[in-house]
Amino acid sequence: MNPLLITTTQAVDPVFKFIIGVSLVLLLGITATMVAFVIRYRRSRAPQPTSRCGGNIWLEIVWTAVPTALVLAMFYYGWSGYLSLRNVPKDALAVTATARQWSWSFTYANGKTSAKLYVPVGKPVLVNLVSLDVLHGFYIPAFRVKHDVVPGMKNHVWFVATKPGSYDLFCSVYCGVGHSAMITSVEAIPPAEFAAWLQQGGGAEHAGKEILEKHGCLGCHSLDGTRKVGPTFKGIWGQPVTVLTDGKERTITVDEAYLRRSILEPNADVVKGFQPVMPTFAGVLKDDEIAAIIGFIRSGGAEAPKPDGARLAKEKGCLACHSLDGSRGVGPTFKGLYHSRVAVWQNGTRLTVVADDDYLRESIRRPAAKIVAGFQPVMPTFPDLKDEEVEALVEFVEAIK
């Protein structure tokens, strides 16, 4: 870790200790003086006022100057600590924390989302705070960060986990009946493990494909094995490839270093049988975008895998309101829901429907269309859910017997 880096803990703790220390000294000093005076000048010992003191200029200067110096010192320490909390180190890893009633989800630059905040040990992490509904509070006691998450307002915090481990992450603002469910953790893992975690599953492949589309790679490279202006990406990972390096032929294995070089210096190794027409993407693609592309090619260069309903239900916060074990939460349980008969309110009329595929789909897409009798209409909509994700959730709910 960069030894010059001040962590948020290092920014907050000295100020806290200073203020507590000064307060303790004053509390004890004042209490002791008070007790001594009460005993010494008690009525039985001095029934008549004896001295007549008109004032003491030095005493007054001291008791004005010392407290002023103390509170100014508190302000100075507090302010410089606050600046450390606001000034994010330049190389910080950016993550977006999305708060909704009643769950957290974390989105990384490559599109991967997670219900826990995974971070590499020793690297500063910038967390952008987004609320989809009401006021929440992002709170990690271990790193001394706490910040309101205000709907419609841009906000951020940052921190460094200096030791590997699992740290609690809470919502610090009462945000409705499910508030206590807004608890998750920061998982600090070694940087190499983190890089591997970031690449695997969970939307990284999908993000990789989106980047390929955005930068026009797929105009020259296919994903299905057909030859275009450039070679296909299908199944090339780990395979030998014959290239011309400075006019000399050699065979190398497609690995991370080779892919990176092919993207940044396409003319260094030109695949045999192709023209050196690929433009360089150095300075165009960010490091994490290249990592996402490599992750995508590594995963086979095929379409994104089918979304996992169980994972989605956790990440999207469905399970904060819906139980799997039959118990009643903010919403009805998923247990035994499929094909059961449900009493619902629709436009003020009570009717009974059978919970089939269409009903479940509609319940997720348009929660307000039919309200299950006996429940509040508080289920949020999930506009960012893709169709195949809704299908995965429907399948997941159906499987809870």
* Chain residues in the site for ligand HEC (CB under 6 A): 101, 215-217, 219-221, 229-231, 236, 241, 254, 259, 262-263, 266, 270-271, 274-278, 281, 293, 316-318, 320-322, 330-332, 337, 342, 355, 360, 363-364, 367, 371-372, 375-380, 382, 393, 397
Q: Taking contact as CB under 5 A, which single stretch among the options 29-37, 84-92, 164-172, 297-305 is the one that binds Cu ion?
A: 164-172
Using rule CB under 5 A, residue 182 touches Cu ion: yes
271 binds, among Cu ion, ligand HEC, none (CB under 5 to 8 A by kind): ligand HEC
Of 207, 206, 266, the C-alpha closest to 231 is 266
Write each residue from 41 to 60 as x if it is in contact with Cu ion (CB under 5 A), else as -, in one continuous string.
Answer: --------------------
User: What gap in Å lies between CA 366 and CA 349, rounded to an integer?
Assistant: 17
Cβ 382 to Cu ion shortest distance, Å: 17
Cβ 120 to ligand HEC shortest distance, Å: 25
Burial of 353 (0-12, 13-18, 19+ CB in 10 A): middle
182 binds, among ligand HEC, Cu ion, none (CB under 5 to 8 A by kind): Cu ion
If the CB atoms of residues 171 and 372 are measured against ligand HEC, the closer one turns out to be: 372
165 binds, among Cu ion, ligand HEC, none (CB under 5 to 8 A by kind): none
Cβ 129 to Cu ion shortest distance, Å: 12
Q: Which two tokens mark 230? A: 């450039």
Using rule CB under 5 A, residue 129 touches Cu ion: no
User: What gap in Å lies between CA 367 and CA 360, rounded to an integer?
Assistant: 10
If the CB atoms of residues 188 and 360 are measured against ligand HEC, the closer one turns out to be: 360
In this structure, the strands spanning 349-354 and 341-346 are antiparallel
Q: Do 295 and 205 touch, CB atoms closer than 8 A? A: yes
Using rule CB under 5 A, residue 330 touches Cu ion: no
If the CB atoms of residues 182 and 212 are measured against Cu ion, the closer one turns out to be: 182
If the CB atoms of residues 100 and 144 are measured against ligand HEC, the closer one turns out to be: 100
User: What gap in Å lies between CA 147 and CA 127, rounded to an integer?
Assistant: 11
Q: Which two tokens mark 189? A: 């893992």
Burial of 368 (0-12, 13-18, 19+ CB in 10 A): exposed
Q: Out of 100, 136, 147, 206, which residue is the one contacting Cu ion (CB under 5 A)?
A: 136
397 binds, among Cu ion, ligand HEC, none (CB under 5 to 8 A by kind): ligand HEC
Footprint of Cu ion on this chain (CB under 5 A)? 136, 171, 175, 182
